[in-house]
Amino acid sequence: MADDWVHIGRVSSVHPLHRKLRIKTEPARAHEFADRTWLTVVPPGAAPMRCRVAAVATFGAVVTVTLAPGVTRDSVGRMKGAAVVLRPEEQTRPPRASDLRQWVGFRVMDPQGQCLGTVSAVYETHTNAAFEVERPNAATLILPAIEAVVKAVDAACGTLVVGDIAPYGVTDEEDKRRAHDEQPAD
């Protein structure tokens, strides 16, 4: 593989019948798959293959790419373990606060489907964007807009699914304890 390629992920599994690749992205590289129409895959011991992309679904650090017809199913079957690369000029920048303005008003859901609050603002930081969640108890929480936190975004439904946010603020158990402690005594 040429030295000038930028490694953005590795194919962890394949589904040749549907021409699907499951790709484990490199840290902070999941944004490289958004709106991508072409992808370069380098199967083990083979030359790079430029493949047309039919669809992309992103779930945190895992991306599922459906390749367009034109790539044989046999070729897809040999892509397990392949490097996914870009030329330097094909790289895109990570999301900025201005990219996330559409999130204001979105409901923020935990992985179990419980509503944690709504996005009330987005901010720019030195390393990544961040968003503020207004909780039902009027508390606010600021979370980084990184793939470890944001697991899925559904713009059509106005929802944002987050993963484990305990390292970034108050957990639901602490919310329940505070609500119980603040109740007036009888």
State the pLDDT at residue 149: 84
What's the rounded mean pLDDT across residues 156-168?
84
Domains of the chain: 6-90 (2.40.30.60), 97-181 (2.30.30.240)
State the pLDDT at residue 175: 55
What's the rounded mean pLDDT across residues 137-160?
84
d(Cα 186, Cα 167) in Å, to the nearest integer? 35
State the pLDDT at residue 13: 97
Q: Is the pLDDT of residue 182 over 60?
A: no
pLDDT tens digit string along 46-85?
999 999 999 988 776 788 999 999 999 999 999 999 999 9
For the sheet containing 107-109, what is the strand order? 140-144, 129-134, 115-124, 107-109, 159-162, 150-154
pTM exceeds 0.85: no
